[in-house]
Structure 1
Amino acid sequence: MLTDRYDNPISTSSTKARDLYVTAVDKLLEGAPHIVEAFEAVVAEDPDFALGHAGLARAQQATGNATKAREIISKARELAGNATERETGHINVFDLLASGKTKDGFTAVADHVTAHPRDAMVAQTSTSIFGLIGFSGLPGREAEMLAFTSSLRPHYGDDWWFLSQYAFALCETGQVDKASAVIDRSMAINPRNAHGAHVRSHIDYEAGETLTGVSYLNNWLKDYDRSAVMHGHLSWHVALWSLQMGDTEQMWQRVDADVKPGVALGMPINILSDTASILYRAELAGETVPKEKWREVSAYASKFFPNPGLSFIDYHAALAHAMAGDSDALSKIISNPKGPAGELVRDAAEAFAAIAGQDWLKAERLLTHCMSDDARLGGSRAQRDLLEFSLLECLLKQGKTEEARRLLTLRRPVLADTHPVQGL
């Protein structure tokens, strides 16, 4: 029986379909461009290969086409009669995820990976900060991600994909030096792994290596297709570092060419969160942000995420609505927060409303409570610095300069000399 790159038997008799499948899986794992087309080539070569259809469904989901993903996973289920037990479980996982049953999906992932740890397509659903653990909204999710990736470590050796995910989990739990060594091994094996370049960027950010990071990422992006899923978000990292260095010209160039709605080609979740984040961090640093830019991202949030549902999206949408002055859209989030971190979303949303109204004391109180366990809101430490710096601004506006400096030094010492908020 033929096997994939991870030595898992697969139910196709076509060597060409197998080779195409291995290539397609690698493309998805590395965030390469044209992942949908890669899996379409697999099912064109062997229309009866159930796992090929499951991969295509996952690729559609990963590029933001949930409706298409649900249609395609139904085809995979129809073809699963001749599949192996592992392949049947694999298809079941993606069926649950395509149907929006994330809680049941994570249970299925955990059971499946215990039995089949080298099923990387299933494992990758829970390794990233944007995965099932990262978006769980539950306390301790960073430690859980590290525990999950650590449990896989004996099964993957020096696999470039696994090393990049393990490095990210190490980074997010503060083990920056160890993470740096691991990501270097990963990128030496596959230097065009976009997710690896992303992890490298986070490690450089946490280490305070601004010049090294922006230079590396600018060079890496030269050969990365704009249509690929990570292009816009990696450009956000460049824009963020440019802002830190005071190079606002490069910051706006990246935002207007690669990050904001209408130009970025990535996932809506990244377009919303990246744009709202960089606009507000620019304002905090003293840059003038035209109101029209806020209206643009607020309208985008209302179009793509009209109803609260995921904490990470919701608090960025709330920020955009507050800055744009869309009180109706903001009230919808405040009055009806969803998910296990809903109470933190409400705090953040009300805090942004207070900031827009210059009620600095109210915003300070809300953000202080929100940040008691802000990891539950989702996103990386770098992304959640938005909340950290918002609180600093509230303190500064009340004349509490020493308290703001002390807070930054205690909570984010690596950024204490970067002047993220004007007047600090």
Structure 2
Amino acid sequence: MSDAIHHTVQRIYREHSRQVLATLIRLLKDFDLAEEALHEAFACALKQWPDEGVPHNPTAWLVSTGRFKAIDQLRKHRREVDLASEDTAVCQAPDPDTLHLEDDRLRLIFTCCHPSLSQEAAIALTLREVCDLSTEAIASAFLTKASTTAQRIVRAKRKIQSAGIPYEVPGKQALPERLQGVLKIVYLIFNEGYYASGGDSLQRVHLTDEAIRLGRLLTRLLPQSEVYGLLALMLLQHSRQDTRSKPNGDIILLEDQDRTRWHHDAIAEATALLPRALVGPATGSYALQAAIAALHAEAPTAADTDWQEIWGLYQALYLRTPTPVVALNQAVAQAMAGDIDTAISHIEQLANGDLASYFPAHAAWADLLRRSGRHHQAHERYHYALSLTRLAAERRYLQMRIEQYEKNIGSAVD
């Protein structure tokens, strides 16, 4: 097999397999059958493309091949299924600029967010099917057992099948009850791309690009303040994608990034959205996070960052979303605004409580201990944070911090 073809198939799987799967789920109306068809289609691509060449529209080829493989399987098992009415034209790959409501991945997300499914099941199912995250990675992200997550996914699929939940974007009257769940899942997709839960790379850019594309689609579907807020937030965070790591994958902290290389067109697009997102007392959590990200984007240097204003915005955010992670970010902002001792105390409580297994809490605690000159405690905390992370780039960063202390303060950490 040609190495070039093999790499092409791998790239297409990485970037487009979820699009193919979403369309197969719509056509076959069966999650498990669609997943089998997806893998059959890619197996065929590995066999046929070296001789026949890569098709002009590979995603359409994969959908068509997977669909007919599934039909053959159903016929072999003598299961009757009415697919005759499905025109082959539905196998054409979606065009995000013209398809609008007919987007299959957005259709799949709304299906997963049906009110009859619990939020935990909806999130687990969507991250599995739309993001291709492993059951173990999803369980780790939500601090649950892999077996529990797997059961949620299986039950959600059965519920969709047995209840006949339609694969569609609901009408405008039904949109509001599902919108918050959809926004949450789109942001989870973005976050998995922005800060991968495992592997060698810090980012999975195809996921952040997909989340932003879905965000733009949602603003056309339902132009509300929180939809604008989410899109602005994702654009502002994604604007730093080229400066967050070195060529070897090592992490570059926000304070050390080359701000001239930030994507200023994305910053400008997000800034234009903010007036529609910030609507006074009714401002939602995504819009507040976008406002925080905008303050970082507007600062010409790290030293010019308005941490006092950011701290105030995090306090407002905590009133709307009183989660441990928001409390952690609020404490970090408090420290950067000048009250580092109180912030360390708050983070210590979080890291010994609700966020005991959350790597960023221990890494933030270690960093503030370092900034306050408590080197021995910082060294110990970096070691503990290292034991919690699976991401290679994070491990290298923490190892670097540990080695710096062991080199520079010697006996002080022995």
State the structure with bigger RCO (CA 8 A, min sep 6), 1 or 2. Answer: 1
Question: Over alpha carbons, which structure has the higher Rg?
Answer: 2
TM-score tier after normalising by the smaller chain length: 0.3 to 0.5
TM-score normalized by structure 1? 0.43
